[in-house]
């Protein structure tokens, strides 16, 4: 399996390979709806992904539904009780909320300024 992602119109699509079926496939990631696509080559897979995004947005429009938005800005993190406690203590010592502490850690890990 491959961890590469396509990006199109703010949506991300996975790039997967099935050895058993000898094919490329993927899904639109980070949304609740299940949208799949496939192709015989990477250019074909990318085109299928872009078509899947366009089709998804059109189907949402026709059905009067709001399309899922990728990464809305909040998520649950499961750390385990010991790591949670240590992070809470470190946040308190830094005079931060736990949310601020975790956000700073993610920013640092990603190398954002």
41-79 pLDDT, tens digit each: 999 999 999 999 999 999 999 999 999 988 888 888 899
Examine the domain organization and report whether 87 and 57 are in the same domain: no
Has this prediction a pTM greater than 0.95?
no
Provide the token pair at 43.
Answer: 């250019």
Examine the domain organization and report whether 45 and 11 are in the same domain: yes
Examine the domain organization and report whether 9 and 58 are in the same domain: yes
Q: What domain range is 55 assigned to?
A: 5-62
β-strand partners of 23: 18
Examine the domain organization and report whether 46 and 90 are in the same domain: no
74-98 pLDDT, tens digit each: 888 899 999 999 999 999 999 999 9
Number of domains in the chain: 2
Examine the domain organization and report whether 14 and 52 are in the same domain: yes
Whether residue 31 is contained in a domain is answered as yes
Examine the domain organization and report whether 11 and 58 are in the same domain: yes
Residue 55: its H or E element = helix 42-62
């Amino acid at each position: 399996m491959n961890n590469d992602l396509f990006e199109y119109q703010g949506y991300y699509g996975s790039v997967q390979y099935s050895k058993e079926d000898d094919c490329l496939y993927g899904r639109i990631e980070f949304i609740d709806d299940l949208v799949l696509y496939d192709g015989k080559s990477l250019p074909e897979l990318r085109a299928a992904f872009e078509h899947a995004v366009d089709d998804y947005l059109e189907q949402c429009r026709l059905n009067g539904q709001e399309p899922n938005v990728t990464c809305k800005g909040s998520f649950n993190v499961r750390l385990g009780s010991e790591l949670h406690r240590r992070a809470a203590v470190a946040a308190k010592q830094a005079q931060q909320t736990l949310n601020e502490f975790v956000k700073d850690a993610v920013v640092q890990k990603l190398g954002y300024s």
